[in-house]
Amino acid sequence: MPPDNLIDGRAIAEQIHGETARRITALRARGVRPGLAFVRVGEDPASKVYVGMKERMSGRLGIESATHVLPEATPQAAVLELVGQLNANPAVHGILVQAPLPRHIDATVIFSTVDPRKDVDGFHPLNVGKLMLGDPTGFVPCTPAGIHELLIRTGVRIAGAEVVVLGRGNIVGKPMAAILLQKAKHADATVTLCHSRTRDIAGHCRRADIVIAAMGVAEFVKSPMIKPGATVIDVGVNRVADPAAKGGARLVGDVAFAEVQPVASRITPNPGGVGPMTIAMLMHNTVRAAEMAAGIIA
pLDDT of residue 248: 86
Asked whether residue 22 is assigned to any structural domain, the reply reads no
Whether 76 is catalytic: no
Number of domains within the chain: 2
CATH of the domain at 262: 3.40.50.720
d(CA 80, CA 59): 26
Assess if residue 196 is contained within a domain.
yes
Average pLDDT value for the chain: 96
What's the pTM? 0.95
Q: Determine which one of 115, 121, 234, 254 is catalytic.
A: 121
Asked, for residue 52, whether it belongs to a domain, the answer is yes
Which residues, at least 6 apart from 161, have a Cβ–Cβ distance to it below 8 Å? 189, 190, 209, 210
47 found inside a domain: yes
Q: Are residues 213 and 150 in the same domain?
A: yes
Start-to-end CA span in the chain (Å): 45
| CATH assignment at residue 66 | 3.40.50.10860
**Catalytic residue (choose from 54, 118, 130, 174):** 54
In a shared domain, residues 263 and 158 = yes
Residue 1 has pLDDT above 50, yes or no: no
Supply the range of the domain harboring residue 261.
142-275
93 part of a folded domain: yes
Same domain assignment for residues 150 and 91: no
| pLDDT greater than 90 at residue 239 | no
Return the minimum-mean-pLDDT range out of 206-215, 239-248, 271-280.
239-248
Residue 57 lies in a domain: yes
Q: Is residue 258 part of a domain?
A: yes
b/e per residue 196-233 (b: at least 16 CB within 10 A): eeeeebeebbbebbbbbbbbeebbbbeeebbeeebbbb
260 plus 162 within the same structural domain: yes
Strands (E), 136-282: 162-166, 190-194, 210-213, 231-234, 238-241, 249-252, 266-267
The 10s digit of each residue's pLDDT in 7-34 is 999 999 999 999 999 999 999 999 999 9
Mark whether 157 and 270 lie in a shared domain. yes
Same domain, 44 and 163: no
- Residues 96, 38: one domain? yes
Overall average pLDDT of the 174-194 stretch:
97
Q: Does residue 233 sit in the same domain as residue 159?
A: yes
- Does 80 share its domain with 171? no
Short-list 110, 117, 120, CA closest to 82: 110
> What does the pLDDT read at residue 2?
43
CB 118 within 8 A of CB 106: no
Q: Is 200 among the catalytic positions?
A: no
